[in-house]
Structure 1
Amino acid sequence: MLSVCRLYISDLYHAEDVMSTGFVKVFKNLHRFENKGSFEGWVRRIMVTTAIDFIRQQKNIEFSTDEVEHFEGVQMPGLTEWSVEELQEVIDELPEGYRLVFTMHVIEDYSHKAIAETLSITEATSRSQLFKARRLLKTKLETLSASAHGQV
């Protein structure tokens, strides 16, 4: 569950605190688990919600409101040439709103509707944030790749 918290919170110590808080919530609410779906999935949702609550307390999350009319496909470069740590660093560099939506949609497999409800934004804003996150990640990964190959 630390890796789940770490996806949302770049500082390891804060991620550990959030994980501990999440586990307190899990133990306090064990009686609410209804054996529908996996226990791990239930715990994971609690960790995600706890991480988002922490981020809201720490920062005023801003979502760019300029809606993108047409989302062209962003072809992401192959990810096999980077380590998990390198990819996490690049994701950590994304603006908070981009990072939250990207993580929730791509990594946690939340729908845009669920993201919108969780973050109190519109589905269109969720789609826009995801598109912009992918576009920025692609640029950052291409720059990282070029510098690794001495092309900068």
Structure 2
Amino acid sequence: MEQWFNLLRSPIHNLDTTTQEWVYRSFSRFVFKDIYFIVNDCGLAQDIVQEAFMKVTEKGPRLRSDTNIQGWVRRVAQNTAIDFLRKWKNNRQIIGRINDNTYGVAQNEISVASEVETRVRNELLHQAINELKPGYRAVLLSFYLEGKSYRDICHELNLSESVLSQRLARARKKLSQHFLKKWADYDEQA
């Protein structure tokens, strides 16, 4: 999945046709549900996906940082949908239909989707914590879940503060690696 994000960073016209289609399909699958929840119209959502894709492929090569390209892509798509709604604001019939029939449903759907995502994220986080070495797991749980101070943990585990600090840093890094791998695997399955 991360492959097509990287391809968004290169000029799309330099890619072969098959790769361009694959990138577009991947992009569409990634943002369609977000856009659909905003406009609640399949055809309109597809049009907005195309417009958002054009924006992303135009601005992607000029991005300075790729730390959160997924979030950036999602935000561009959502802003494109919102911009569309703003353009049509003067036409009361269309905006009235969108607001009356779909905005409430979309907000409800987004909150349900967010709740499901939070539950899945928490489950994957717990799985990732359980995969850590017992020493890493102990310091993470003591510090973050039990709220113990460095001094208490050092006394409990008979460690110096520098060793504890280093162990916590390594534990966070390992946890991040385990969790991100699980999240990416889950996202590809979804």
Q: TM-score, normalised by structure 1?
A: 0.43
Higher fraction of helix: 2
| Largest Rg, 1 or 2 | 2
Higher relative contact order (CA 8 A, sep 6+): 1
